[in-house]
Amino acid sequence: MSDACAEVITSHYPRRRIERLLVLLSRESGRKDDERRAAFVIRHFPKMPVAGRFEIIHSLAAARSRPARALLTHVLRHDPSPLVRHEAAFVVGYIGGPKELQEARRALKQDPSFLVRHEAAMALAEIGTLTDLALLTECTVDENEEVTISCEFAIARIRVRCATPSSAAGALDAV
C-alpha cells in the first residue's frame, strides 16, 4: 500500500476540528478578519491528513467566501499532494472568480503533475474565456495525452459557451 493510501485509511483528524475550520471559512466579515481566518486555516491545513484536506476542499465549493477562496488558491499552488491540488483545481472550475481563474491558468502551464494540469484545463472549460484559447492551444502539445485531450475539450467547450455562430459550429465539428 502506498504512503498516500495508508495516510487516508489510517489517519483520523478530529471531525470537530474540521467542522470548526469550515465554519471559519464560511463566514465573511471585514477584509482583515477574513484574511486572518484564511491565514489560520492555511497554517493548519498541511497538518491534516489527505482525507481531511479533501473534505475541506470540497466544502469550499459551498462556502464561496473570501477566506474559502484564499485557501483554495493557496492549496492549488502549494499543497504537496498532487491529488489535493487536483481536487482544488476541480473546485476552482466550480466556483470561478478572477483570482481562481488566474490560478487555474498558472496550474495548467506550470504544475508538475499531469493530474493537476488535466483538471486545470477542465476548470478552464467551465470558467475560461476566449482569451484562454491561446493558452489552451499552447498546452495541447503536453507530454501527457490526458492533458492534451482535456485542453482540446476545453477549447471546444469555451467556443460553445462563448458562442458566436461560426465558432460554435467549428467547435462542435472538432469534438
**Residue 156 has which C-alpha cell?**
471546444
* pLDDT of the residue at 46: 78
Residue 166's pLDDT band (boundaries 50, 70, 90)? Answer: low
Q: 13 in helix, strand or coil?
A: coil
* pLDDT of the residue at 172: 47
Q: How many domains does the chain have?
A: 1
User: pLDDT tens across 56-98, in order?
Assistant: 788 777 777 777 788 888 889 998 999 999 999 999 998 888 9
pLDDT higher than threshold 50 for residue 153: yes
Q: Which domain holds residue 74?
A: 3-174
pLDDT higher than threshold 60 for residue 11: no
Residue 53's pLDDT band (boundaries 50, 70, 90)? Answer: confident
**Residue 39 has which C-alpha cell?**
491565514
Helices 114-127 and 145-161, packing angle to 10 deg: 10
Alpha helices in the chain (DSSP H): 3-10, 15-26, 31-44, 50-63, 66-78, 82-95, 98-110, 114-127, 133-138, 145-161, 165-174
* pLDDT of the residue at 164: 59
Question: For residues 19, 20, 22 and 25, what is the CA-based torsion angle, rounded to 10 degrees?
Answer: 180
Average pLDDT over residues 154-169: 78
**Residue 143 has which C-alpha cell?**
507530454
Q: Residue 105 belongs to a domain with what CATH number?
A: 1.25.10.10
